[in-house]
Amino acid sequence: MAGRHVSLRVVPDELIVKFDPGTPKRVLNRILTRAGVTPESVVGRIGDLGVRVIHVTPAMRGCVLAALKSSGAVQYAEKDVVMTALDTVPDDPRWSAQWGPKRIGAPRAWDSTRGSSGVVIAVLDTGVDSHLADLSGRVLSGYDFVNNDSNPNDDQGHGTAVAGVLGAHTNNGEGQAGMCWTCSLLPVKVLDEHNDGTTSTIAEGIVWAVDHGARIINMSLGGPGTSQALTDAVAYAASKGVLMFAAAGNNGSTTPFYPAAYPQVVSVGGTDSSDRLYPWSDYVSWVQVTGPGCNVAPLRDGSYGDFCGTSSATPVVSGLAGLALAAKPNASVSDVYSAIRESAKAIGSSVEFGRVDAAGTLSKLGAAPVSSSSTSTIKGTLDPDPTSRSYKRDIGAGSLTLRLSFTGARTLTLELVKGETVARVSGPSPLRIARRVQRGTYRFVVKGSGTRASFTLVASYPKP
C-alpha cells in the first residue's frame, strides 16, 4: 500500500518553552531577554503544564531557540507544529447510506444503553454549530482557543460533522443517527477556518477539556510531528482518567501521526462496509482499531452529506466509549480501552486489533440489555354501533406486531394507520400484522360489520 508523504509544518513566528518549576519571574524575564526576545513576547500560556508560547520574528527563530535550549532553567524549547483536520471527500454515491452503525452492531449496543447526559465528550475541532436541529440541546458551553473567546462556533464545518456522527439526536424522526444518543458534547475550538491548528493550541484545549469535566476527548485531527507540550497535555489527560481517541491520518502511510500515535491515545483508522481498510487510511501496528470511515453527517446549512476519512471514523469509536461509560459509569480507562480492543473484529495485519464491535464492547464490560420495546394488551367490544374501535400510540422506529383474537363474529378487520392506512388484514380470528415502521404516532383500528364481538388486541412495538 503506497503512502502519501506529508511534510511537517511549523508556525514560523512561534516557539514553545517550558521553564523549570518555581523559576522566579525576574529570572524568566532575564532568560528571555538574553535569548533576544522581550517578556512581552509571551503570547500564550498552558496553565497546568507551565508552558509558554513565545512570539519571535521568523529570521530570529533559530537563534532564539538555541539560546533557550542552552539555558539551565529551561526544560524544553521547541517549534510549534501545525496539525490539521482529517477528512476525505467521497466519490461513491453508495457512501450516502448510513451503513456504519449497522456494521459495528450499534443497534444491539443500543439495546443496553443509548448514552447518558452525564458522559461529557469533548470535541477538539473547528467548533460546533449547536443551533442545528440534530444537535440542539446536546452541546454544552465550550471555548474557542483560536480567537480566545467563549463562542466556539464552527466557521469551517468539520467539527459540526464530527459532532453529528458522535452524538446527533437519534430516533427523533429526522436527520441521522448519532453513535451516543444522549451524551453531552463539549466543543473546544482548536482549529481555524482552514482546518489548521498548532500543537500549543491543541495542548491548551486538551487541558481545558479535562478541567471542565470531559471524560472522553475526540481528536479528529493530527500531523506528522508533535511537541513536548502536546506530549505533556496528553499525559495530563491520562493522569486524570480521561479517554482519548484520535484520527490515524488519511495518507495511506505507516508514518506515525500525532496525537494518535501516543500510547495513551486510541488511534482510529477507517474501514468500508466490507471491513476493508480504505486506501487512504494510515495503517500498521501503531493504528489500534478502525471504525466506519464514511458516515452521514450534518452540514452547516442544516442539510446532510457524506463525511469520510479517519476524522469520520474517530467519533464513531469515541461515541462507543460514551456508550460504555453510560452503561458502566465506574469503568476505568483500562476497562474501556480493553473492552474496545479485545472485542474488535480482526481484519488482518493492517491494524493492531481490528474493526470495533459496539455490542461486543458492551458485552465485555458486562452491560445488561434493557428493554427497548413496549407491549400493550387491549380488550374491547364491537356492537352494531359503533362498528370500529381506534387506539392511538406513539411508536419508535423498528419492528411492530399486532395480534387480534376475537369471538362472536365470523370476520373482523385490523388496520395500522399513520395518516393513511399502512397495513390492513381481514378474516377469521386470529389476525396478525407484522412490519417494520418509522417513528411516529399510529392508530390501531379494529373494524366489524354490524355484528357484536369481543376482542383482545396485543400490540408489541418499539418505544419512541
Q: Which residue has the higher pLDDT, 91 or 384?
A: 384
Average the pLDDT over each of 22-31, 148-157, 318-327 and give the range with the smallest value: 22-31
- Catalytic annotation, pick one of 71, 311, 318, 363: 311
440-454, pLDDT tens digit by residue? 899 999 998 777 899
pLDDT in tens, 269-328: 999 999 999 999 999 989 999 999 999 999 888 888 889 999 999 999 999 999 999 999
What's this model's pTM, rounded to 2 decimal places?
0.76
| Alpha carbon of residue 31 to chain centroid | 44
* Burial of 148 per CB tally in 10 Å (0-12, 13-18, 19+): exposed
Our answer to whether residue 212 is catalytic in this structure is: no
Average pLDDT over residues 390-411: 89
What are the pLDDT digits (tens) for 196-226? 999 999 999 999 999 999 999 999 999 999 9
| 109 vs 332, more confident | 332
Task: Tell me how many helices (H) and strands (E) the chain has.
Answer: 10, 24
Dist CA 51 CA 310 (whole Å):
30
Q: Which CATH number fits domain 84-365: 3.40.50.200, 3.20.20.30, 3.20.20.120, 3.40.50.2300?
A: 3.40.50.200
Domain assignments of the chain as residue spans, ordered by start: 10-81, 84-365, 373-462
Residue among 41, 80, 112, 125 flagged as catalytic:
125
Q: How many CA atoms lie within 13 A of 371 on its CB side?
A: 6
Q: List beta partners, residue 375.
A: 460
CB atoms within 10 A of CB 346: 11
Q: Residue 199 has what pLDDT?
A: 96
**Regarding predicted confidence, which is higher, 175 or 172?**
175
Q: What is the mean pLDDT of the chain?
A: 90
Task: Identify the weakest region by mean pLDDT among 50-64, 342-356, 376-390.
Answer: 376-390
pLDDT digits (tens, 9 = 90+) for 110-137: 888 889 999 999 999 999 999 998 898 9
Nearest to 170 by CA among 139, 141, 140, 133: 133
| Block residue for cell numbers 392508530 | 443
- Give which of 230, 315, 248 is closest to 287, Cα–Cα: 248
Confidence at residue 91, expressed as pLDDT on a 0 to 100 scale: 40
pLDDT greater at residue 339 or residue 8: 339
Choices 3.10.129.10, 3.30.70.80, 3.90.950.10, 3.10.580.10: CATH for 10-81: 3.30.70.80
pLDDT in tens, 333-378: 999 999 999 999 999 889 999 999 999 999 999 876 655 678 888 9
Q: What is the DSSP secondary-structure string of 362-395?
A: HHHHTPPP---EEEEEEEEEE-SSS-EEEEEEEE
Catalytic residue among 71, 134, 144, 158: 158
pLDDT at 5: 58
CA 347 and chain centroid, separation: 22
Active site residue 125: yes
Torsion over CA: 206, 211, 212, 214 (sign):
positive
Which CATH code fits 373-462? 2.60.120.380
